[in-house]
Structure 1
Amino acid sequence: MTEVVREFVGLPSPLIGRAGAGGHPCQGVYHRPAGAAPTTAFIATHYNIDFAEHYLASYLAERGYGFLGWNTRFRGAEAYFLLDHALAEIGVGVRWLRERAGVERVVLLGNSGGGSLMAAYQSQAVEPNVTPVAGMRPVPAIEDLPAGDLFVALAAHSGRPEVLTAWMDPSITDEADALSVDPALDPFDSGNGPPYSAEFQARYRAAQRARNERITDWVLGRLAALDGTRARDQLFNLHRTWADLRMIDPSIEPSDRRPNRCYQGDPLKANYGVFGIGSLCTLRTWLSMWSLRTSQCVAAPHLRRITVPSLVIHATADECVYDSDARAVHGALAAPDKRLELVKDDHYLRGSRPQVADLIDAWVRER
C-alpha cells in the first residue's frame, strides 16, 4: 500500500479573521502519497459537514492524487450559511492547491449536498452570477475565483432548496408547533398510505412547495419588520424535514435502497426528532440556502455553466438521493464530455469505496 501523508491546512478567510482561540476560518486536511508531489488533486467541501477526513481521501491519495478535504467557516454552523461567503472560502482552498501544493489540475468533487455547492463554485468561477442575499454587501473575493479542471458529482443531491422541499412534511399546520398536523396530508397516517395514490402524491408535492413559499413570505416579512430596529437578523426553528414519500414507499422510484429508511433511520422517528436539515436558520440563511424563490443553491443553473469534463456517480441503494436526482444532475451539465456511472451501494459507499476510487482514477487518467 502507498503511504499516505496527511497535512493539516489552516488558512485565513478574505471575509473574517481568526477565532479568538486561534483557529483559522478555513481548515482542512491535505492527503497525498509520500514522495513526489501529485500534479492532480481533488477538493471536496460541503455546506455544513466536515469533509477534512473524507472517506475517499486516502483511497485517492493511494492512487497518486492529492485530496484536500476542505471546510469553510460554516462547517457545523449551517444555521449561518451564506453562499457567496462560502464560495470565497472554497477559493482559498483551490488557490492553496495551485500555489502552495504545486498542483496543475484541480478536480472539484461535489459529494452529497456538496454537489450543488461545488457546482456553484465552478459556475461562479467561469461566469460570475452569485449575488449577495438581501441586506448584505457584495463579496469582491468571488469575482475572480480559480476554476476547476474537472468536475465529479458523487451521490449528489440536486440542490438545497429542492432537497429540503422534497423532504418537508407539509402536514404541519403551525410552524411553532412540531406536533401540529393536517390528517389529510399526514404521510404517517395509514389511511393515506403507503402505497400512496397518484392523487395523494400530487397534493403532497404541491403542499410541500406551498410550505416552502409560506416560510419565505414570513422571512421576508420579518426582515422588513426588523428594518430600523436593533436587530438585523434572527434565528428560527424548522420542524419535520424527514418526510419524502419515497423514504416511506419503495414503490415510488424503485431502487436498491432499504424501504422505510432515511439517513437518520426510521423516517417517522426522524421526522419528529430534533436532527434535521434546516432545523435552525437565520432569516438570511433561509433566503441564501433553503428558499425555492430566492436561493442560489439550486444546482441546475450552475450545472448549465459547467463545460469541463464531468463524471456523475449514483449509488443505487442511496436512501435519499434517487435515480431521478442523478439523471437530472447529468442532464443539466453543459459539459460535452460527461458520463453517468451507477454503483450498487448506499449513500456513503460503505461497501465499494476502493471500487469507486478505481472508477474515478480511471476516468481522470483518460483525461
Structure 2
Amino acid sequence: MVREFVGLPSPAIGRAGAGGHPCQGIYHRPAGQAPTTAFIASHYNVDFSEHYLASYLAERGYGFLGWNTRFRGNEANFLLDHALAEIGVGVRWLREQAGVERVVLLGNSGGGSLMAAYHSQAVEPNVTPVTGMRPLAALDDLPPGDLFVALAAHSGRPEVLTAWLDPSVTDERDPLSVDPALDPFNPGNGPPYSADFQLRYRGAQRERNDRITDWALAELDALDGTRARDKLFLLARNWADLRMIDPSIEPSDRRPNWCYLGEPVKANYGVFGVGMVSTLRTWLSMWSLRTSQCIAAPHLARIAVPSLVVHATADACVYDSDARRIFDAVGAADKTLEFIKADHYLLEPDGARDQAADLIAAWVADRSLAGS
C-alpha cells in the first residue's frame, strides 16, 4: 500500500503563513495501481487522515483519501460553508490529480451528515453563510460524489447533541446546577425510565437547545456596533442520552450504561465532549436545532446517487433509529441498509473492520457492474 500526503490551500483562507496547508490528508492506494474508484472521508472535527478503513479498502483495490478541513481539532470555530468548500478541494484532487473516475463519499460517524451536506450542496446549492459572514464563491462549484456510504453515522449534528444534552441543567453558568425532577442520574427517575419521564426529558432537551439559541442570537445582537464580532462560550453536561444509561430503550448489542467516554455519569460531569466549547456563530451554524444547516435530513433528500447505510449494532451512541432515519431520508432509488455486529469504531469483535470493508467493497463493485 502507498500512503501519499496531500496538502492543499483553502479556497477560504489560502495557505497558512507558517507554510502549512489548511486542507490536508493522506491518500491510500494499492502499490503499483492507480485506482479509478476512490473514497473520501472527512469529519467536522476529528482527524480522518489515517481513517481506520483506509488501508482495508486500499487492500481491496480502492483509493482512499482521509481528508481534513482546517476545522480538524478546531470544532469551536466550525463554519459549514467553509468546510464544504474545503472538502471540495479533496474531491477535485481525486478527480484531477489522482485520476479517479468515481468518488465515493464516506460519511462515518459525525461525518455522515457532513458528507451528505457536501453532496447536497454540490447538486443543489442551498447552504448559506452564518449571519454576518460573506458568501464563499467556491461553494457554488463543488464536484459531486458518485456514490454515498453512511457508516455508523449520527443522524445530524444538532440532533445528536440535543439527544445527548442533560436537560436538568438549570444555570448554564453553573455545571453543577440540577433540577432533580429531570436528573437522569437521580435514582428516583430511573433506570428504567417511564414513558412519561422519557417524553418530558426529550422535550426538555429540545427546550435547552432552544434557550441556548435564543441567548446566542441575543448576544450577537448585543455585539453589533462593538469591536467584537463573536465570542466563545462553554456548554456543560452533554453525555446524558437516556439510551446510554437504560439498555431497555432501543435495545441493541451495545454495552449498557456506557458511552464513548465510559460511564455516562462520569462523562457527563467531565470536561470532554462535543460542543463543549463554541462561538456564538458556530452554535448557530452547527448545533442549533433552529438555525443549523448541519441537520442531515434535508441534505440526504438531495442524494440521488446509489447509497449504502451500514449500522453497527453494538454502537454505544448511534442507535438503530439513527440508521433507519438516515436510510429513510436518502433520496436515492438505489439504497441499501446493512447491519454488522460491532462497536462504533469496529474494534470489536475481531474481524469487524474486515467485514465492513468486504461489505462496502462488494457493494461498490456491484454498482460498477451495474454501470452506476
User: Shared topology, TM-score over 0.5?
Assistant: yes
Question: Can you give the 5+ residue segments of structure 2 that lack an aligned partner in the other structure?
Answer: 368-372
Shift of 1:91: 0.2
Give me the identity figure in percent. Answer: 81
Indicate the residue corresponding to 1:309 in structure 2: 306
Q: Which runs of 4+ in 1 moved over 6 A?
A: none
Aligned to 1:366: 366
User: What is the aligned counterpart of 2:252 among 223, 236, 255?
Assistant: 255
Per-residue CA shift, 1:149-174, capped at 9, x if unaligned? Answer: 00000000000000000000000000
Q: TM-score, normalised on structure 2? A: 0.97
1:171 is matched by which residue type in structure 2? S
Q: Give the aligned partner of residue 330 of structure 1.
A: 327
For the pair 1:151 / 2:148, whether they are aligned, the reply is: yes
Q: Which 5+ residue runs of structure 1 have no aligned equivalent? A: none
Does 1:294 find its partner at 2:288? no
Partner amino acid for 1:360? I
Letter aligned with residue 65 of structure 1: Y
- Secondary structure of 1:118's counterpart equals helix
CA distance in 2, matches of 1:37, 1:291: 42
Say whether residues 1:320 and 2:317 are aligned partners: yes
- CA shift at 1:20, angstroms? 2.9
Map 1:199-218 → 2, pairs under 5 A: 199-218=196-215
Shift of 1:106: 0.2
Deviation of 1:144 (Å): 1.1
Take 1:181 and 1:272, find their aligned partners in 2: how far apart are those partners?
Answer: 12
Whole-angstrom distance in 1 between the partners of 2:155 and 2:132: 27
Aligned to 2:24: 27
Cα distance between partner residues in 2 of 1:149 and 1:84: 21
Letter in 2 for 1:267: P
Q: Secondary structure at the match of 1:152?
A: strand
How far did 1:36 drift? Answer: 2.0
The residue number in structure 1 matching 2:370 is none
- CA displacement, residues 167-203 of structure 1 (integer Å, 9 cap, x when unaligned): 0000000001000000000000000000000000000
Structure 2 match to 1:101: 98
| Counterpart AA for 2:366 | E
Quote how far apart the aligned CAs of 1:270 are.
Answer: 0.1
Q: What letter corresponds to residue 67 of structure 1 in structure 2?
A: F
The CA deviation at 1:214 is 0.2
Q: Could you tell me which residue of structure 1 aligns to residue 124 of structure 2?
A: 127
Match for residue 357 of structure 1? 357
Match of 1:171 among 168, 171, 177: 168
Per-residue CA deviations over 1:265-312 (Å, capped at 9, x if unaligned) read: 000000000001100000000000000000000000000000000000
What is the alpha-carbon distance in structure 1 between the residues aligned to residue 269 and residue 131 of structure 2? 32
Q: CA deviation at 1:22?
A: 1.4
Alpha-carbon distance in 2 for matches of 1:276, 1:6? 31
Q: Please identify, of 10-19 and 167-176, the stretch whose mean Cα deviation from structure 2 is larger.
A: 10-19
Q: TM-score, normalised by structure 1?
A: 0.99
Q: Distance in 1 between matches of 2:181 and 2:199?
A: 13
1:221-240 correspondence runs (5 A): 221-240=218-237
Equivalent residue number for residue 63 of structure 1: 60
C-alpha separation in 1, matches of 2:344 and 2:185:
24
Q: In the aligned structure 1, how far is the partner of 2:50 from the partner of 2:134? A: 33
- Aligned with residue 78 of structure 2, among 63, 81, 89: 81
Aligned-partner SS, 2:310: strand
The CA distance in 2 between the partners of 1:262 and 1:23, in whole Å, is 35
The equivalent of 2:39 in structure 1 is 42
Matched, 1:342 2:339: yes
Shift of residue 19 of structure 1?
Answer: 2.3
Equivalent position amino acid for 1:101 in 2 = A
SS in 2 for 1:212: helix
Structure 2: how far apart are the matches of 1:101 and 1:81?
28
Letter in 1 for 2:128: T
Kindly provide the amino acid, as one letter, of the partner of residue 92 in structure 2.
Answer: R
Q: CA deviation at 1:21?
A: 2.4
- SS of the equivalent of 2:99 reads coil
* Alignment size in residue pairs: 364
Q: CA deviation at 1:18?
A: 2.2
Partner amino acid, structure 2, of 1:59 = Y
Q: Could you tell me which amino acid in structure 1 is paired with residue 195 of structure 2?
A: A
2:114 matched residue in structure 1: 117
2:281 partner amino acid: R
**SS state of the match for residue 121, structure 2?**
helix
Query: SS where residue 65 of structure 2 aligns?
Result: strand
Aligned amino acid, residue 324 of structure 1 = S
Alignment partner of 2:51 out of 29, 46, 54: 54
